[in-house]
Every structure is written in structure tokens, then in C-alpha cells.
Amino acid sequence: MKNMTKQQGFTLIELMISLTLGLLISAAVIQIMLGNNVTEKLNQGMAQVQESGRFIVSRLRNDLLMTGRYDLLSPQLNRDPGTDVVVEAAYIQNNPVALPGDFAADPAIGVIEGASGGNDTLVVTMQAATDCRGYKLGYAVDEEFFVVNQYFVNGTSLQCRGFDGRVLRGQKVAVGNDGDQAYTLLDEVYSFQIQYGVTDVLASQDNSSRPVRFVDADALPALRNAGSQVVAIRIALLIRADADVVVDSVPTFRLLDEVAVQPAQQSLFRQFETTISLRNVKNFIRSRNI
């Protein structure tokens, strides 16, 4: 008779070892998948907040570069009867950044320094075809007019409003969407800070139009009275990523000359800063006689 080979299965110990190794491998795979998921969310959040920052810096730069512009020779300039465009030009060129009390119809409109590190408000004047929202405010499609743009934060939304400067100066009645509707430029803005680069005082005889220092809005009235002019605007923003990213330790941020702040939310934040040179104002200062 032929010998029969007896086949044996796994022992209990071998089965337990196999199951344990399988569990360890499965746990490692799951951990890698979770890590990849967290990394993907972090990368998405960083990309999103970076894109938001680039967009708003570019948008504000494009808007503010026109601050103080007034072209008397422009064929597009509206010349309504009763409006002295020479006086209007002098007003905009000498007041490119509006202060509270500048406008009789609404004295509250002007730059504001936020209290205790709060958000600032920026108000600029110019000749343009539309306000910051793209509205014509009753003017013809091919016309330019006296525009006053206001930038501020409402909640966590950076918004803007546009006004007809002639309405604010009491020269005409508002038409269209004059200042009545805010337009959101960007959400998730947790801080909006402004500083103003000013020239030397008139008595210095410095006609170079270079900024000698940067100051907050509270200092502007006295400096304007002394003959200084705003020739640059420095902007800082703190923006939160929309992505659902939880950060265990949120760093502190210091925007311009404000005290350092640490957001309460355990989210991904990033700080952005830019300085915008007001070329129209600089050209006006260089051309004037002191």
C-alpha cells in the first residue's frame, strides 16, 4: 500500500499572528489615507487663500491707482451746466483721500481709523467712468464723472460703495445706485488695515512728492492743514481660507503698526500687504509751484 501524506492546517497561534499582521497593515494603510486627505485639504486651503489674497491685492491696486486723477482735457468728462470742472479738478487733486467732514451732504464719509485694532475705512476720490461697483450713477455710457469710492469691512466681508462726488458736495440730486448698495469684493477678511504715505509739510519746500513717513487716518487732518499730501497707500489684510482646515496652533499676526492678534478660529489664515503709489497725486505735486 502507498503511504498517505497527512495534510495539516494552520495552528491557532499562526492564525492569530496572521490576523495581527493584517490589522497592522490595514491600520497603516488607513493612516496613510487619512494623512493624504489632511494634506490635500491643507494644500487646497493654502492654494485658495493664496488666490484670494492675490485677487484682492490686484483688485485694490487697480482701483486705487486712479486716486486723484482728473483730466480736464478728457473728451469723456461730463460737463453738466452749473459744474465748474476747474474747481472740481482742484478739489480732487488736493483731496485724493477724503476725510470726514469733506462732503456737506454726508459729513460721515471719509477715512476712519478702526478703534483698538479694528478694521479701517478707506475713501478715495477720482475721475472715472464707473464707481468701484461698476455703476454709472446716472451718467451716459461714454462719460466720466467725479467718483468717490469707499472700502470697508462688514462682518468678515470686504465691501465697497460708490458715490457721485457732485451729489456729496450738494451740487446735484442722487441718481441710480448712488451709495445705496454695498458690493462685496471678498469674504473671509478678518482684518483690513490702512496706512498713508505723506509728503513733507508745505513749509519744507520739498516738491519731490516722495513719502517721508506712513501714518494712520487719525493723523491726516493735521497733516493736510500743514500742506502734506497723501502720495501712497499701504494696505494689509488678514484672510481666512474657505477650506475646512483645522490648525491646532494658530500663529499671531501683526498688520502694519497694529498690535499682534491671534484669531480665535483654529483655521488657516494668511496675511497680505501691498503699497500703492498714487502716481496722479505725485504728478500733481511735482507740477505745482511752492
**In this predicted model, what pLDDT tens digit does every residue of 137-193 receive, in sequence order?**
999 999 999 999 999 999 999 999 999 999 999 999 988 877 789 999 999 999 999
Determine, yes or no, domain membership for 6: no
Closest residue by Cα to residue 253 from 274, 233, 273: 273
10 within some domain: no
Is 35 part of any domain? no
Tell me, what's the pLDDT at 289? Answer: 55
Residue 89 lies in domain: 43-287
8 Å CB contact between 59 and 254: no
- Within a domain: residue 163? yes
Using CA atoms, how far apart are residues 193 and 272, in angstroms rounded to an integer? 10
Which residues are within 8 A (CB) of 14 and not within 5 positions of it... i.e. 6 or more apart?
A: none
Q: Using DSSP bridges, classify how beta strands 230-240 and 189-198 pair: parallel, antiparallel or unpaired.
A: antiparallel
CB 120 within 8 A of CB 193: yes
Output the pTM of the full model: 0.85
Residue 31 belongs to some domain of the structure: no
How many domains, in total, are found in the chain?
1
**Residue 247 domain flag:** yes
Facing residues of 191 across strands? 238
Instruction: Answer yes or no: is 23 within a domain.
Output: no
Flag whether 208 is in a domain: yes
Residue 175 Cα distances to 104, 147, 149, 180, angstroms: 17, 13, 16, 10
**What 3-state DSSP class applies to 260?**
coil
Span 53-89, pLDDT tens digits: 999 999 999 999 999 999 999 999 999 988 999 999 9
Bridge partners of 198, per DSSP, are 213, 230
Least confident of 17-21, 225-229, 237-241: 17-21
